[in-house]
Chains A and B, each alone.
Chain A
Amino acid sequence: MRARLSQTLVHIAQADSKVLLLTGDHGYALFDEFRRECPAQYINAGVAEQNMVGVAAGLARTGFRPFVYGLSAFIPVRVLEQIKIDVAHDNLPVIFLGDGAGFVYSFLGTSHQSTEDIACARAIPNLSVYSPADRFEAAACMRIAYESRAPVYLRVGKSDRGDVHDAVPQEKIGRLLEAKSGNAAEIVFVATGSLVRTAMDIAARSYPDAVVWSAPFIKPIDCDQVASICKRHRVVVVLEEHSVFGGLGSVIAEIASEYAPARVLRIGVRDRFSHCCGSYEYLLREHGLDGAAIEQRVRAYLGAN
């Protein structure tokens, strides 16, 4: 998925000399191809993320199309005010690539883990929030972000969990994509990013008739489509590698409560920092976000509700 993001960025930059890639001294190896193919469009702004976002705003004002890359703990969270004031306030076409979202940096600890970025970003007017699940969604999200000529935060989480689609989906901004079909009325899964794969595995194992939706667009999201999904099912299970406060679970629950009351089970990070370090799988288990723990919660919830 990261390779596809990098390739897509190279293609976009080759076709448009106004595209610039700014990085806060991150992206080792990831941008080798970009630096080889488009060296004049690459700027390492140093370990100075706040300045980097202001510079991107100035560049956008002079006709450039900046992509600002960093770890999602820094882009957007550390520089939230610069994004709000310097970029979003004037709807400048700057795309923020926040890599390593969720628990990707499982061994490093809380500093590099990012489970509040969606909540922070989606409250900023004009700023869209995309969260792709596989290489197809990632490429489409990047292209749509570029074509939108508006500020976008593109969240890149655990990226090696395999494809959830068979081909490049015909994406439209805001649409949820069916990752697995089915006709169960009792339960439906809606997930984003890394946990789409998990939802598909759980469904295949225990709820073979359940539909699994992937939400590559957190904001804007197709409100009618979400309401219609909520209407058709008794329990909507939302999964994300992000806090249960302010992420996709909140988005779905907000829409459901206004337009289509349904039981919404929000599965995500429950208002806690990681205690220990370890492998990515270890950390998911620590947070109860591994497949077995999620399945158990879903079963218990269905039984109790």
Chain B
Amino acid sequence: MAYAGSTVHIACAFSIVELLAVLYRSHLRYPGNDPLAEGRDYLVLSKGHGVMAQYACMREKGWIGDKEVKGYFSDGSHLKGLSDSRNPGLEVTSGTLGHGLSVGVGLALGAKLNATDQKVYALVGDGEINEGPIWEGALFAAHHELKNLMVIIDENGYQAMGSTQEVLKLGSIQSKFECFGFKAMTVDGHDEMAIDRAIEELWSTASSSPKALVAKTVKGKGVPFMEHNNAWHYTRLDADTYRRALAAIDGKPQ
């Protein structure tokens, strides 16, 4: 998909692959495998630039086909470079950062007022939490005791122009969310078993707090020459890097 479309944001998608895989496989409920089912859980991809990883999951679910995947980033494609809510399976339009959590908070409040057991997952980037509305949403979620909301923070340590340490220090993300009234945990964001257990543990907590899961991840995970190399926020694949990336993902020597 990334090569065919000559797309950017490859490394941003690679850091959330395991998180999405666990969510789709074991947690998100879609009655009748319908991405628009009324009682579904909501996955809000607030870091809309990671959407390529979500397209891959939507293809696994059978919601989009190979033709659409191959057409990604091309003329007339509905699969855009950033999340667009008009595609069933994508709950919000994002890419402009700091929006998705607030919409997720509204979904969680709506589910609470409607007395349903729907759960809301909002996946945000660590660079994204520079945005003020994230913290407005965090205050609101705790105040309204939205225990059906889980914020997942993809802490890959980088944002568009550098490391989060260089650009705007974040300190401990877990303790920040705890200060805001969340039940929070930190987990290795590439260890599927650990992610699964942490999500279970957070949901099983008796408190009325919203939840926050800080996932320590590697930007560009899975392809050694992309890992920790922030150039891959924007760099596109060429024939050579495509071949080497595929070989790395398949576990072959490059």
**Interfacial residues, chain A to chain B (CB-CB below 8 A):** 45-46, 48, 50-64, 81-82, 85-86, 89-90
Task: Give A38 Cβ to nearest chain B Cβ, in Å.
Answer: 13
Interface centre among B91, B101, B114, B136 (most CB of A within 10 A): B136
* B113 interface residue (CB < 8 Å to A): yes
Per the bound structure, the CA–CA distance linking A53 and B103 in Å amounts to 8
Residues of chain A with a CB closer than 8 A to B140's CB? 45-46, 48, 51, 55
Is the CB–CB distance between A50 and B132 below 8 Å? Answer: yes
Q: Are B108 and A50 in contact (CB under 8 A)?
A: no
Q: Is the CB of B86 within 8 A of A51?
A: no
Pairwise interchain contact A58-B109, C-beta atoms closer than 8 A? yes
The answer to whether B106 touches A55 (Cβ under 8 A) is yes
Closest-by-CB residue of B relative to A62 is: B110
20 A-B residue pairs with CB within 8 Å: A46-B136, A46-B140, A48-B139, A50-B102, A50-B132, A50-B133, A51-B140, A53-B102, A55-B103, A55-B105, A55-B109, A55-B137, A61-B91, A61-B107, A61-B110, A64-B113, A81-B99, A86-B103, A89-B85, A90-B86
Q: Which of A46, A58, A64 contacts B139 (CB 8 A)?
A: A46
| Contact in complex: A86, B92 (CB < 8 Å) | yes
Q: Please, which residues of chain A bring their CB within 8 A of the CB of B86? A: 90
A90 to B92, CA, bound (A): 9
How many Å lie between the Cα of A286 and that of B103 in the bound state?
A: 42
Given A51-B133, A58-B104, 11 more pairs with CB closer than 8 A = A46-B139, A46-B140, A48-B136, A48-B139, A50-B102, A51-B102, A58-B103, A59-B106, A59-B113, A62-B111, A63-B110
The answer for the CA separation of A46 and B136 in the assembled complex, in Å, is: 9
CA distance A61 to B98 in the complex (A): 18
A51 adjacent to B105 (CB under 8 Å)? yes
The 5 closest A-B pairs by CB, nearest first: A58-B106, A54-B102, A62-B110, A51-B136, A48-B136
- From residue A296, how far is it (CB to closest CB) to chain B in Å? 46
- Residues on B with C-beta less than 8 A from A63 are 110, 114
Residues in B whose Cβ lies below 8 Å from that of A55: 102-103, 105-106, 109, 137, 140
Q: Which residues of A contact B101 (CB under 8 A)?
A: 54
Instruction: Report which of B109, B137, B139 forms a contact with A59, defined as CB distance below 8 A.
Output: B109
Q: Pick from A48, A58, A81, A85: contact of B107, CB below 8 A.
A: A58
Digit string of B72-109 for contact with A (CB within 8 Å is 1, else 0)?
00000000000001100001111010111111111111
- Closest B residue to A45 by beta carbon equals B140
Give A46 to B96 CA distance when docked, in angstroms.
23
Chain B 133-169 near chain A by CB (<8 Å), digits 1 or 0: 1001101100100000000000000000000000000
Contacting pair B85 A54 (CB below 8 A): no
Q: Which residues in A have their C-beta under 8 angstroms from that of B103?
A: 54-55, 57-58, 61, 86
A85 to B100, CA, bound (A): 10
B121 CB → nearest A CB, Å: 13
Residue of B nearest to A79 (CB): B133
Q: When A46-B139, A50-B132 are in contact, do A64 and B85 touch as well, CB less than 8 Å?
A: no
Q: A57–B96 contact, CB under 8 A?
A: no
Q: How far apart are B137's CB and chain A's nearest CB, in angstroms?
A: 5
**Min CB distance, B148 to chain A, in Å?**
11
Q: Chain A contacts of B139 at CB under 8 A?
A: 46, 48, 51
Q: Is the CB of A58 within 8 A of B99?
A: no
Docked pose: A63 CA to B118 CA in angstroms: 14
Of B99, B104, B110, which is within 8 A of A64 by CB? B110
Q: In the complex, how many angstroms separate the beta carbon of B73 from the nearest chain A beta carbon?
A: 20
